[in-house]
Amino acid sequence: MITINEHYLKLQASYLFSDIAKRVAAFQKNNPDKDIIKLGIGDVTRGLPAAAIKAFHNAVDEMANDATFKGYGPEQGYDFLRQAIAINDFQSRGADIAADEIFVSDGAKCDTGNIQELFSQDIKIAIPDPVYPVYLDTNVMAGRTGTFTDGRYQGLVYLDSTRANNFVPALPAEDVDLIYLCFPNNPTGSTISKAELKTWVDYAREHKALILFDAAYEAFIRDESLPKSIYEIEGAKEVAIEFRSFSKSAGFTGTRCAYTVVPKQCAAYDSSGNRHFLHSLWNRRHCTKFNGVSYPVQRAAEAVYSEEGKAQAKALIDYYMENSMAVCNTMDTLGYDYVGGKNSPYIWIDGRMDSWQFFDMLLNKAGVVCTPGAGFGKCGNGYIRISAFNSHEKVQEAMQRLTKVLSA
């Protein structure tokens, strides 16, 4: 008799964004003439940088010619892209990351989920609340949690992120082995200072723990005093793995390209306390279970680091950040408390009521889709997340609708 992985049965009924999609579809069915403005899921809306498109076309042409055709590429990524990433994203900011410590993939979501395969079942995991659901759900699937009780899974250490700590959680009160951090944060949009991030690195070094640092939104940081990479912190290469994506920084959500950094001195331990380097373990997992990102996509990603590509990618970020400021200005006018929006495309708003209730009110009365904070964890209840990923016209219209509804 074939049996299932029963840990899947501990998952909540459906994925957060599936719930949102169902509610929006039901509303649209009952209101077919109503124009819905979506400021919920963090998907970009503008075309790829022209430099990336040109490189994409050139690479496709190469694939049509026997002399320049590329078959299977290296699972870790082509060296031309890994070198460009190392130089521009790390070495330029004083972080000593080598090209061969970078693993190109088809998405940070995949990597943050897959990386937990390297670790034993009985590790103690610390996860922020609120949090990007993938961190949590993949560990539930792997069997590292107990049952879901009173809004949380047993067996995990939750790191409360609230207004009281400016949505930057405090160090855990108990020893933990694996720590998830995301800055700029999804969903709250909060950021972390170098001094605050150093306390986490110091904790990990002292406790022989590992930090999984999601920096997918680093391109939106405007305050140059803030770290864009955990490797800007001394000692982080020993205790941290970093995830990044071209999805938000260059609009690659439909093109799929990201990367994970696993420094060669980053280590974990076996049951006897012997040290093992994670670089070789992740390389083995990558080679066994991943076939690599396509050559044209990697050439397009490489072009993002050209002078033209950098300027064009920055223009995309600037465009979305104008939307972000429009949302912040509206919330200021309406008197709603929020965090984020200044160094992030997400604005985390205190809705003054139950998250789903606020979501339904905005959908039904304004035709605007947000993301209910309760879907990101117990500490998210009462909040909503608004995304800046849409056109200027749509965001302005949405803010006018919200102003009308929330001022009534």
pLDDT tens for residues 142-185? 999 999 999 899 999 999 999 999 999 999 999 999 999 999 99
Q: Backbone phi, then psi, for 117, in 5-degree steps?
A: -65, -20
What would you report as the CA-atom Rg of the chain, rounded to the nearest whole angstrom? 21
- What is the torsional sign of CA 306, 77, 317, 167? negative
pLDDT tens for residues 206-239? 999 999 999 999 999 999 999 999 999 999 999 9
Task: Indicate the DSSP class of residue 257.
Answer: -
Q: Output the CA–CA distances (angstroms, integers) from residue 335 to 37, 338, 407, in the order listed.
A: 22, 9, 10
34: three-class secondary structure by DSSP: coil
Q: What is the pLDDT of residue 14?
A: 64
102: three-class secondary structure by DSSP: strand
Task: Indicate the DSSP class of residue 9.
Answer: G
Residue with tokens 């995991």: 125
Domains annotated for the chain, with CATH where assigned, are 6-47+308-406 (3.90.1150.10), 53-306 (3.40.640.10)
> Which residues of the chain fall short of a pLDDT of 50?
none
Among residues 106, 289, 127, 266, the alpha carbon closest in space to that of 201 is found at: 266
Q: What is the pLDDT of residue 21?
A: 87
Max intra-chain CA distance, the chain: 67
Among residues 3, 46, 2, the alpha carbon closest in space to that of 322 is found at: 46
What's the one-letter identity of residue 58?
N
Q: Which residues contact 94 (CB under 8 A, 6 or more apart)?
A: 232
Q: What is the pLDDT of residue 19?
A: 84
Q: What is the pLDDT of residue 13?
A: 65
Q: Output the CA–CA distances (angstroms, integers) from residue 299 to 242, 290, 302, 316, in the order listed.
A: 22, 19, 5, 19
C-alpha to C-alpha distance for 313 and 166, rounded to whole angstroms: 30
Which ranges in 259-354 belong to alpha helices (H)?
278-289, 295-303, 307-334
Q: What is the pLDDT of residue 42?
A: 84
- What is the torsional sign of CA 102, 227, 278, 289? negative
C-alpha to C-alpha distance for 365 and 37, rounded to whole angstroms: 12
Which ranges in 129-214 belong to alpha helices (H)?
133-141, 194-207
108 neighbors 213 (Cβ within 8 angstroms) = no
